[in-house]
Amino acid sequence: MRIDVITLFPEFFQSPLAVSLMGKALAKNIATIELTNPRDFTTDRHHRVDDEPYGGGVGMLMKPEPLFLAVESLPTFTDREIILLSPQGETLTQPLLKQLAQKEQLVLICGNYEGVDERVVEHLVTQEISLGDFVLTCGEIPALALINGVIRLLPGTVGKTESLKYESFEEGLLDYPQYTRPRNFRGWEVPSVLLEGNHQMIADWRREQQLRKTKLRRPDLFKQFLAEQQDG
């Protein structure tokens, strides 16, 4: 997979993408990431990428020309998605990450200032994605989260791929509680069912915990899970 990031701040990505599983995955060429600065496609001597909105308003907007030219300078893969990271976009979820992980190429446009010229949304991007119902200082933060979520799904990134099947949101449920040594920490004991070696009892306990935790912490997910079970 190739991931192109259109960003005013390429240095933002240098450290996060060089460490942990992300760094190892990129070193193994499981994915390649290219950073493109739209300032490189400006023609004025100040390299301006923003301007005042027509009709007035607070703040500045990113201009369309540098963004269009930056994207048009990239190689075009057959199966690609051009994504604008925006609070107005579809909320990023695990199912959406799975869909994106199947693409050959992702082009991520990181918004800044008060947003981008609407013509970028209408005529350039194919999808808008948001981390949630809140506003951040820049689109680089959600872009990094999306990159992390996609690359960890690619074959070879996570050592034990079986573990991906039992994580939060894989079935629409939160993950079950997990414990490690010591067995007793400050008087808090590991649940005895996990120590008895009965794999069926452990599986039943974990399922029960998933249901209980999801119902308590994310009733919206629990309701959706029940509806899908009934439909299935």
Give the model confidence (pLDDT) of 29-81 as tens digits: 999 999 999 999 999 999 999 999 999 988 999 999 999 999 999 999 999 99
Whether the predicted pLDDT of 162 surpasses 60: no
pLDDT at 25 over 90: yes
pLDDT at 58: 87
> For residue 161, what are the contacts with CB-CB under 8 A and spacing of at least 6?
155
C-alpha–C-alpha distance, residues 149 and 128, integer Å = 16
Topology of the domain comprising 167-231: Trp Operon Repressor; Chain A (1.10.1270)
Domain span(s) for CATH 3.40.1280.10 in the chain: 2-151
Q: Does residue 168 register a pLDDT over 90?
A: no
Cα 152 vs. chain centroid, distance in angstroms?
10
The pLDDT tens digits of the residues spanning 192-222 come to 999 999 999 999 999 999 999 999 999 999 9
* pLDDT per position as a tens digit, 137-149: 999 999 999 999 9
For the chain, the first-to-last Cα distance in angstroms comes to 33
| pLDDT in the model for residue 171 | 82
- Where does 2-151 sit in CATH, by number? 3.40.1280.10
CA–CA dist 24, 22 (Å, integer): 5
| The one-letter amino acid at 56 | G
- 10, 35 in Cβ contact below 8 A? yes
Using CA atoms, how far apart are residues 98 and 116, in angstroms rounded to an integer? 27
- HSE, CB side, 13 Å, CA atoms: give it for residue 12: 19
User: Where does the pLDDT of residue 163 fall: very low under 50, low under 70, confident under 90, or very high at 90 and above?
Assistant: low
Q: What is the pLDDT of residues 177-193, one digit of tens each?
A: 999 999 999 999 999 99
pLDDT higher than 80, residue 10: yes
pLDDT band at 167 (very low <50, low <70, confident <90, very high): low
Domain with CATH 1.10.1270.20 in the chain: 167-231
Run of H or E residues at 2: strand 2-6
CA distance 183 to 191: 9
Sign (positive or negative) of CA dihedral 120, 121, 123, 127: positive
Tokens describing residue 143? 């872009």
Q: In what order do the strands lie in the sheet with 127-130?
A: 32-36, 2-6, 105-110, 80-91, 127-130
* Neighbour-count burial for 144-183, b at 16+ CB within 10 Å, e otherwise: bbbbbbbbbbeeebbeeeeeeeeebeebbbbebeeeeeee
pLDDT higher than 70, residue 166:
no
Closest CA to 129 of 166, 174, 97, 168: 97
Instruction: Identify the CA nearest to 7 among candidates 39, 33, 41, 51.
Output: 39
% of the chain at pLDDT higher than 70: 95
Tell how far CA 198 is from the center of its chain: 37
